[in-house]
Amino acid sequence: MWVNCDDHYISSSYRPAQCNSIECSVAESLTCNTCNDAPGPNCNNNTCGLFPENSIINLSTTGDVIDDVALFRSIDGNFAKVPHFLFSCGSNNLLEGLASGVQGVAGFGSTQMAVPVQLSSVFNIHPQFALCLSSTRSSNGFIFVGNGGNYKLAPGIDVSSSLMKTLLIPNPVSTRVSFKGESSSEYFIGVSSVKIDGKAVKINTKLLEIDHEGVGGTKLSTVTPFTSMETSIYKAVTRAFIKAAEAKKMKSVAPVKPFKTCFSSESIKSTRIGPDVPIIDLVLGSEDVYWRVFGANSMVEVKEKGVVCLGLVDGGLNPRTSIVIGGHQLENNFLEFDLATSVLRFSSSLLFRQTTCANFYFGSKP
């Protein structure tokens, strides 16, 4: 959780976290910073520090831990005030690769400084959050913190009903560069097999387990645009998908980077859940628990007219994580992370229920 403190951060209410304070303990800081420049949000003495990171460009810097007033929008459209919200200061060079106008990264990982953990403490609410990513740039999705109960999207559909659930798997070693040796704050799930149109794909299931060095397994990522798979898994899954696609008389065409498996859109029927293509199931331990991926999430329309590609990429031979479920595959899927019980509740595509993540209505305008 960090905010750019180099430019345009003007506040009279911020407070540096003094070394050895409770705030530093919450932040799990191991450093105590000094600064010889002009005093400011990111230049204080006897202040604990962290290593804010931009995981898109794999860059990390040092930054002071501070607290300040923060406002969060409530479901009714009003704003809730947090008088002492804890975060670390980032710098201008961490903004590279982020969307225009963005001045930081909100942390929702498994840490004490994460947004849902801090808000649950301040407002005495259950430590959980729900995530729903929109599939278009013109419409917003949503993140809810706390026990929201029924999540109703237009036209009056409660997307929190009929959810599957699975355990969030701890990874003993962080996959982030600046946190080697610490446990991971990312969210891993226990994928045990992959099916294409109901048929299991033959893969090395050892790669789906997390070893003592934190290597392997399956994690969720809103940073990774498309799901990546370790090379042998990727090849097995794409081969099985192509075979099932041929049975549907889908016509293969030349690949378009970064994808290697593409088809003519003219050979594929359209449905309300996207292109009518083979269904991908990520089985989560029990055969009765699976994450079903329909065409809207498995396929990507590319700039070449009339071409759609399987939205999976080759993650290489020795990736730290064998399967990384990317943002495209998460779009219009409802995910609820219960941090107290380490449980993930999830839907498949909301298109199947004739709604989207963009259809939530706040009670009033800010």
Residues 299-342 have pLDDT tens digits of: 999 987 899 999 999 999 999 999 999 999 999 999 999 999 99
Spatial CA neighbour of 186 closest among 204, 174, 199: 174
Asked whether the CA dihedral 294, 296, 297, 298 is positive or negative, the reply is positive
Coil vs helix vs strand at 239: helix
Mean pLDDT, rounded, for 153-182: 82
Q: Which of 27-31, 36-40, 78-82, 277-281 bottoms out in mean pLDDT, i.e. has the lowest? A: 36-40
Higher pLDDT, 48 or 40: 48
Q: What is the DSSP letter of 224?
A: S
State the pLDDT at residue 174.
Answer: 82
Return the structure tokens found at 264.
Answer: 């003519």
Give the C-alpha separation, 277 to 172, whole Å. Answer: 37
Q: Check: CB of residue 160 under 8 Å from CB of residue 149.
A: yes
Q: How confident is the model over 114-142, as pLDDT tens digits? A: 999 999 999 999 999 999 999 988 888 99
Is residue 179 scored above 60 in pLDDT? no
Is residue 150 scored above 80 in pLDDT? no
Strands 227-229 and 312-314: parallel
Share of the chain above pLDDT 90, in %: 73
**pLDDT-based confidence at residue 365 (cuts at 50, 70, 90):** very low
Mean pLDDT, rounded, for 187-200: 98
State the pLDDT at residue 364.
Answer: 42
Give the C-alpha separation, 147 to 198, whole Å. Answer: 34
State the pLDDT at residue 76.
Answer: 78
**pLDDT-based confidence at residue 56 (cuts at 50, 70, 90):** confident
State the pLDDT at residue 148.
Answer: 63
State the pLDDT at residue 8.
Answer: 77
State the pLDDT at residue 303.
Answer: 80
Is residue 178 scored above 70 in pLDDT? no
State the pLDDT at residue 366.
Answer: 35
Q: How confident is the model over 238-263, as pLDDT tens digits? A: 999 999 999 999 999 999 999 999 99
Spatial CA neighbour of 111 closest among 185, 43, 208: 185
State the pLDDT at residue 156.
Answer: 84
Give the CB-side neighbour count of residue 346, counting CA atoms within 13 A.
25
State the pLDDT at residue 182.
Answer: 75
Phi and psi dihedrals of 11, rounded to 5?
-155, 140
Q: How confident is the model over 64-107, as pLDDT tens digits? A: 999 999 999 887 778 999 999 999 999 999 999 888 888 999 98
Burial (Cβ within 10 Å: 0-12, 13-18, ≥19) of residue 58: exposed
pTM of the model as a whole = 0.91
Domains detected in the chain: 2-105 (2.40.70.10), 152-359 (2.40.70.10)
Coil vs helix vs strand at 90: strand
- Residue 115 CA: distances (Å) to CA of 35, 71, 90, 106, 290: 28, 12, 17, 7, 28
State the pLDDT at residue 317.
Answer: 96
**pLDDT-based confidence at residue 363 (cuts at 50, 70, 90):** low
Phi and psi dihedrals of 330, rounded to 5?
-90, -15
